[in-house]
Each structure stands twice: as structure tokens, then as C-alpha cells.
Structure 1
């Protein structure tokens, strides 16, 4: 069953509206990264790089049904096919890069500087893996099947006449990468749970991270609390922390206090509130958002592709409408995640500064900020 002209118009409107949302999301990412220091963590940097890929992706989805209408051999259709082959795959690979950053922090103690040195490698590998096939496909065509890029109702991508190529070189890699991302976060979750059990932390407790260059002195002997302080060697990589996007570039300390009463500080013990903390609930947020965004983006197109592979002439209007709308939202989802992570970090640090100032005022200390 083919779609009517009215149905095609609705598919085109849905795709263009969500493409606009994605474009706005990408500009929000770029603007926030450039204007605010609260959006400069390693994970934010990766989303920032990906925003430029998302912009070209959104340009492709914005063309929508105009691509197939222009004809398979038209420049518009070929550009759209190239854009929708390269940049959606790049988006998934950038998500993999984010999970790798978190893995390297948790299991190999990478700091922010070490993670930033990987960014040029991420750029090169992701651009090569997605760009080379997408460019090569522009030059492949046969008399029997025509060009690889061609119209498929809602936009131009790998033509239905090259269906097997589309599945093997597009959907299979996407779901392999998504599976790897899920496995990585699962392993990280196990390690985080082990840390929580090791230090007897509740869900509301935090693993602390500090950028102080001086060590913290022990508390007074009158303090009956049970405290564990693990300090890193300044000449080595920092101590273990559970999330890449809050890491600092100098010494790290992991502190866990169990059922402790009020602490007794001396002025020398206090220092500015440079510690950054992350609760286990906050840790769950980041991978959950990425996972939900991936599912929202890729489940519907995959179902549609499998359906068309089984029944090539059976076009479901509701399914194609969903594919057009959800498949154009990659930049929008990334913008939501980017802002959510940044605002949580900003609020957390604001609360820490407020609490620190309150403690200082109560003790009557004089501290230069």
C-alpha cells in the first residue's frame, strides 16, 4: 500500500518540525559550551563535537520527502542519502565514546587531561568509519539497481533496491554499538555497586572528588566518627571516581564517613569548596538518558526496515510517520542530555558552596575565596 499525497505531506511536516527541534538543540549545546564554564566537562565536550555532526544530520532530515520527489539521481537526493548514512551512525559512535570515557575513569583512573587527549582520536576514527563508506556509496550504481542512494518514501537513503546493504552496513552496526554501550554501562554499574558496598554508602551518600593540591589533615581526636580518606599520589593518575564528566585535573580524594556526628575542624583543615560530589542516583541518570534516547531514535526505524524487508510493498503510514518524527530528533535528545547534566552539576556545586560558607560562618573562620 502506497501513501497518499496527504499522508506524505504529514510525514514531511513531522520530519521538518522535529528537525527544527534538533537544530535548536544543537545550537543550545554549542552556545552553552561556549558561554558557560559549567558545560566544559569531558562528556560535555564530546556532546559539543557531536553537535556539529547533528547539524548536518538535521539538514538531511529537514529535506524530508523533497529528496525522493527530486529523483534518485538528483543532487538533493544524493546529498540527503549521504547525510543520513554518515551522521546518524556518527551519533551512535559518539555515544560509545562517552561510555568509553566513563569506563576509562572508573577502571583505569583517567583524568580530564587524559580524556581530552583522546578526543582527536575519537574525531578521526568516527569520521573515518562513517565518512568513508558514505562517500564511496555516492559513486556506486549499477544498470539494474541504479545508485545506492535513492528514495524510500520519507527521505533518500540507501535505496530499497539495495536493502541488504542497508541492513548489513547500517542497522547491524548501529545495534552492535548500542549493545556495546549497554555492556560497558553494565560493567561500570557493577563496579559502582562494589564501591558502595566496600565503603558502606547509602544511595544518598556521595563519592567525593577534589581538586585541592594540599592534603586534608585528620580530624581532632575528639571526633568519634569513623572516617576513611584515600589520597592519590600527585605523581600518578588520580584515585578512582565513578563519572568522567565531573573529573578534575589534579589530586583526587575519596572520602566516606559512616554515621558521623558533627566534625571539629581547625582553620588549617578548611579549604575552599573545590570538591565535587556525585550520588549513586545521579550516576544512574547519565546512562539512562543516553539509553532511552538511543531506543527512542532507533527502535522504530529498525522495526520499519525489518517490516519492509519482509514485505517490500507494505508501507505502514503510522510507522513511517513515527520514523520521520523520531528519526529526526537526535540533536534534540542530545541537547536535553547536555543541559540536564550541566544544570545538575551547577546546582550541586552551588549547594556545596552554600554549605561550605555556612560551615565557615558558624565556625567563625576567615577564608579567602
Structure 2
């Protein structure tokens, strides 16, 4: 099936419209982060860094069908191919970074300061991993196959002549990262379920923990100690989350640590997990944003992967509806990120405003 000129034009228009929405979403993320202190949590920071990758991704998708129309050897086509090799993959890796942050909070009681130290490693590794193959592909070409970046109907990317390369160094890493994200959230979900069973919580209750332990500090051996853990309920509109500008994330795994702690030495004293200077964090709220980003990620990559597998099975097959879906969903990455960032962020900000107006919050205590 060969697409008509009208169909290609429709794909181009749709791609540019959705790319404009993505640019708007990305600019919203950047401006909100810069001008509002309420959007400064570790997850917000990761989304902020990813926004610059999303912005360049949107520039590439905005070119749309103009890249292939300019010709495989044109600078426009080669730039578009380079950008679409690097920045969509970076978006997946930043989503993996969010999942890793959440995993570290749950299982290794990392606080905001510890997570912030990892940001430079995330920036460096993601940039290097995505930039090197993207720039190398610009210089690979052969008389028989032509350049690596070429006409893919809806934009320029790795051409059909280099299809194996596209599976190995594009879709392969993407779905490997998605698989790792699924594993992270599966482990997190198991731990949440375990704690709900352990503390006999209902579905309407969130775990809101505070801890005065540092990142590497553990409860020493003891014979007996009393540790107080507060488990807040959602029965009211009161917030479980205080001002994110304090830059503290409480370890969800502190409950497990408190329950299974070994005897204290004679010089040690019981530790109280009710430090008033640290903000309480409802883990349900903390995990919501990265989980939604992951769902948006899946929605983005299912259609392109199906299209690529179809092309691999039958190189002459082209589906207008499928290519239209690929162009639309592939151009909306920044838009979905912006919607989730602002919607969940504003929800948390409103909760903090309510919390400041309601000093006394209901809750039940569990003594271990």
C-alpha cells in the first residue's frame, strides 16, 4: 500500500499540531519549575531535566514529513534522524530514572539530598548513552544502503535499509528500559502490599512515615526499644505532604527497619520516628507521578513498535491509520509530561495549602 499525497499531508499536519502541544507542555514544565518553589521534589527535578530533551524532540517531530521530502542526504533529514534517535530514547531513560528514585526511597531509605547527588550521574549517563550512537549514525553510509538516517514516510529516522540496526540500538534499549521499570514498580507494589498487611491498613489509608535517621544510619543492636510510627488516614481532606522546599523524602522502608531492628547497645537510646522538622510523605502520592509517566510512556511506544514489527515482516506494507497513530503519539511526549507534571503537582500544592490551615490532623498511631 502506497500512501497518497493527501494522506501524507494529513500526517504532516497532525504531527505538527501535536508537536506544538508538546512544546507548550515542555515550556510549562520549565517555567513552573523555575518560578514555583512548590515544584522542587526529586521527581519534579528529573522531569525538569527531561523537559530539555523533550523540547528538542518536539523540534524534530515538528519538522514532520518535511524531512523525508528534503531527501535522505539533506541536512534537514539528517538532523531530524539524529534528534529522533537521541531524544525519544532519553525520555524512556529519564522515566527509568524516576522508577529508580522511587525504588531507592522504598528499599534504601534515600532522602532528597541523596537523590539529588544522583542527578548528575543521570544527566551524564543518559546524555552519553543516547548521544554517542545518534552522532555515530550520521557518519555511517554505504553505496548499497545509503545513509543510516533516511525516509521513514512520516519523518527521517533509521531507514528501512538499516532495520536490524534500528531494532538493536533503538527499540531494543527502549523495551529493555521499560522492562526494568516494570520490575521496579512490581517490587515496590509487593513491598506496599506487605506493609499494608503487616500494619492491617485498609484501602483508604496511606502510609505516612517520618524518620530522623540519616541515609546510612541504622538502628544498632538492642534488647528492646519502643518506636512510634504514625499512619495517617485519608478520611479528611488534610494533606499528608508538607512543603517540598524542605527537600526531604522519608524512607518508606523505615517501618520495616523499625519492626525488624536488632537490640540496642547499652549506650544507645530508642529512636522516635516523629521528627517534627521533617515533612511527612504519603508514599501513595510520591509514586503516583512516576507511575503515570510510565503509563504515558507505554501509550507512546506501543504503536511505533507494532509498526516496526509489521514493516519487518512485510517491508512493502504501510498502514495509513497506524502511521497516523505513530506520528500523533510520537509527537505528544512533551504534552503528556506537561499535563502530568502540572496536574499532580497542583494537586499536591493544594493539599499543602489545606494542611497549613488545618494544624490538627486525625490519625492513628501504631507502637512497635
Q: TM-score, normalised by structure 2?
A: 0.80
Q: In 2, are the aligned partners of 1:67 and 1:76 still within 8 Å (CA)?
A: yes
Q: Does 1:312 align with 2:315?
A: yes
Judged with a 3 Å threshold, the aligned counterparts in structure 2 of structure 1 residues 228 and 196 are, in CA distance, closer, same or farther, namely farther
Equivalent in the alignment of 2:267: none
- Mapped pair 1:321 → 2:324: yes
- Residue 262 (structure 2) aligns with: none
Q: Structure 2: any 5+ residue segments left out of the alignment?
A: 214-225, 231-239, 256-273, 363-368
Matching residue of 2:173: 173
Aligned to 1:229: 228
Native 8 Å contact 1:41 1:247 kept in 2: no
* Preserved CA contact (<8 Å) 2:112 2:249: no
Deviation at 1:352, TM superposition (A): 1.8
Distance in 2 between residues matched to 1:272 and 1:107, nearest whole Å: 23
2:110 counterpart of 1:107: no
Alignment counterpart, residue 334 of structure 2, candidates 313, 331, 338? 331
Distance across 2 between alignment mates of 1:178 and 1:98: 12
Q: Given the alignment of the two structures, is residue 340 of structure 1 paired with residue 339 of structure 2, yes or no? A: no
Q: Contact (CA 8 Å) 2:95, 2:294: kept in 1 or not?
A: no
**Residue 275 of structure 1: how far off its partner (Å):** 3.6
**Do 1:211 and 1:250's aligned partners in 2 also have CA atoms closer than 8 Å?**
no
1:86-136 CA-partner distances (Å, limit 9, x unpaired): 000000000000000011111111110010010000011000110000000
5+ long unaligned stretches in structure 1: 214-226, 232-240, 256-269, 360-369
- Find the counterpart in structure 2 of residue 197 from structure 1: 197
The CA distance in 1 between the partners of 2:142 and 2:14, in whole Å, is 33
Q: Does 1:278 align with 2:278?
A: no
SS at match of 1:150: strand
1:131 and 1:279, CA in 2 relative to 1: closer, same or farther beyond 3 A?
closer
- Taking the aligned partners of 2:333 and 2:86, their CA distance within structure 1 comes to 13
Give the secondary structure class of the aligned counterpart of 2:301.
helix
Deviation at 1:37, TM superposition (A): 1.1
CA-based RMSD: 2.8
Q: CA contact under 8 A between 1:81 and 1:150: conserved in structure 2?
A: yes
Determine helix, strand or coil for the equivalent of 1:176. helix
- How far apart are 1:79 and its partner, in Å? 0.1
- Map 1:143-162 → 2, pairs under 5 A: 143-162=143-162
Contact in 2 for aligned 1:11/1:324 (Cα 8 Å): yes
**Alpha-carbon distance in 1 for matches of 2:80, 2:110:** 39
* 8 Å CA contact retained: 2:105, 2:250: no
User: Is residue 249 of structure 1 aligned with residue 248 of structure 2?
Assistant: yes
Output the CA distance in 1 between the equivalents of 2:283 and 2:248: 20
Question: Residues 248 and 278 of structure 2 are in contact (CA less than 8 Å); yes or no, is this contact kept in structure 1?
Answer: no
For residues 76 and 313 of structure 1, the distance between their equivalents in structure 2, rounded to whole angstroms, comes to: 25
Query: Could you say what secondary structure the match of 2:207 adopts?
Result: strand
Structure 2 CA distance for partners of 1:30 and 1:339, relative to 1, 3 Å: same
